[in-house]
Every structure is written in structure tokens, then in C-alpha cells.
Amino acid sequence: MDTEMFSKLASKMGITSAKILRQAEEYMRLSQVRCTGLANTTATSKAVICLELAANCMKFPLDKEYANKLSGLSKKAYQSNLRSMECMLGLQANLGLRDLAVQYGCLDAAKVANQILHRYEESLPAAQQQDLDLTKPLFTTAALFTACRCMKIKVEKKLAAASGAKKGIFDRLCSQLQSLGQQICSDVTHMKEPVKKAQKRQKTLLETLEQEEEQDDEHPTSLKNLKEADSEECVKQDYEAWKKKILENALKAKKMDS
């Protein structure tokens, strides 16, 4: 695309800064090499995306809806290509797993996602591990998306789009991570089971003690009868001792008289 046409698009978008325009032109040149194979893109749509990326970089306020309309793409296609170019040009800030989980409302899946990435790295040959950057959006979003699927947590479809990769690439990576996620979730479940059983046994013991106490409260007559029986036994023992003593004294008195 010639500079004049590029300038006209920038003018329509309200961009008058020469610095933003130069940055957008630089993005456009880089996109010819790095952003090949993007679906449903034209020279005009690429130029508009590059202008928006440059405006975002310079913190310049932009009418994003008008930019979308000017590109000639649907909203979905425009956003998808914008994220893809942002990723391919290295402009996307690499959010950590926790930040990404907070952004998409699936914080409970962050720990499992981190374990998935760790096991994925360990499964690769040493040579590949050295060249691998698991902080890239493709890996963090795929791990988080997979963790949510394994944990049956609903998550926005926008999470997949945040990877900046084509759907086929993203889906293939998720398929590779799926078995790791299922294994991790299974291990977590097995670890929790003994704890649950122990808690159940403790609860049952407490319930038993409480039940026995309640039964005592419900049957006070039984306790009363038991106490009365003990009292009668004591009286009987005292009577026998007194009787024995009287007989012994009478026997002694008889011997003395004789």
C-alpha cells in the first residue's frame, strides 16, 4: 500500500500524529513477513489494524468501532486478526497465568494450568525445552483453557482468541495438554478422598457420642432405677454387717454367763 493511501486511512481514523503514522507503516512492513496466512484480510484491513496497534502503543484514543467499519471486516474477524497481528508482531503483553485467570474469571483453574505447563515442558526433549517460552500467550491461554475444560469450569470463548494463534494451532495444542490436565485433576481427586473419609469417620464418632448422650437424656428412668438398685444394695450390705455384729455379741454374752 502506498504512503498516500495509508495517510488517508489515518486521517479518516482521526490520526494526525506523524509519529503514530510512521510506527503504523513500520508494523505494516513487518506484517508482510511475520503475519502471512491471516484469513480474510486485505491490504486495507491490515493497514487499519496497523494504525490501531500504533495508536494503542502511543496511548492515542481511537474510535475502535469506526476502525472496524473502515477495515471492511466483521467485528469477529477484525478482532481475531487484530489479536493475531498483535501477537505475531510481539506487541501483546505476556500476562501471567494468574492475571489471565483473573481477567477471564477462572482463578480456580490457574494452579492446574500452571501444573499442565510444567508437565508439558518436562515431556519435551531437552533441546526443545531450551527454545521454549511458556510465557507466550499461546501456551498460557491454551493451558488455562484446558484446565477449565478438565475442571468443568465455564470460560469465555474470548480466552482462546487471546492466544493470537490460528484456531487449528490452538486446538492442537489444547489436545496435547488435555491428557496432562485430566491426569492432574485425577491425582488431585485421589489426594482429597482419604481426607474426606477421615472427616466422615470423625463425624460419625462425634455423632455416636452425641447420640449416646441424647439417649441418656431420653431415658432418665433407667438411670434412676440404676441408682435406686445401687442404694438398695448398700442398705442390704449394712444390714448384714449389723446382723453379724449382734450375733457375735450375743454369743460372747452367752459364754460369759456359762
Q: Indicate which CATH number applies to the domain containing 104.
A: 1.10.472.10
Check residue 41 and give its pLDDT: 81
For residues 131 and 178, membership in a common domain is answered with yes
Q: Which domain holds residue 248?
A: 227-258
For residues 16 and 76, membership in a common domain is answered with yes
The total number of structural domains in the chain stands at: 3
For residues 104 and 184, membership in a common domain is answered with yes
For residues 107 and 81, membership in a common domain is answered with no
Domain membership flag for residue 218? no
**Over its length of 258 residues, how does the chain's per-residue pLDDT go in tens digits?**
667 888 899 999 999 889 999 999 998 888 887 776 666 788 899 999 999 999 988 888 889 899 999 999 998 888 888 877 877 777 766 667 888 888 788 899 999 999 999 999 988 888 887 778 888 888 899 999 999 999 999 887 777 777 777 788 889 999 999 999 999 988 766 555 544 444 444 445 555 555 655 655 555 555 455 455 555 665 566 667 766 766 776 666 656 655
**Do 64 and 48 form a contact (C-beta atoms < 8 A)?**
no
Domain membership flag for residue 203? no
Check residue 3 and give its pLDDT: 79
**Do 68 and 44 form a contact (C-beta atoms < 8 A)?**
no
For residues 101 and 152, membership in a common domain is answered with yes
Domain membership flag for residue 216? no
Single out the residue in 88, 116, 148 at which a domain terminates: 88
Single out the residue in 39, 69, 88 at which a domain terminates: 88
For residues 103 and 163, membership in a common domain is answered with yes
Domain membership flag for residue 209? no
For residues 102 and 183, membership in a common domain is answered with yes
Domain membership flag for residue 195? no
**Do 72 and 44 form a contact (C-beta atoms < 8 A)?**
yes
For residues 31 and 71, membership in a common domain is answered with yes
**Do 49 and 98 form a contact (C-beta atoms < 8 A)?**
no
**Do 73 and 49 form a contact (C-beta atoms < 8 A)?**
no
For residues 10 and 80, membership in a common domain is answered with yes
Residue 188 has a CB neighbour count (10 Å cut-off) of 13
Check residue 224 and give its pLDDT: 54
**Do 59 and 15 form a contact (C-beta atoms < 8 A)?**
no
Residues in Cβ contact with 21 at an 8 Å cutoff, skipping those fewer than 6 apart: 6, 7, 10, 15, 51, 54
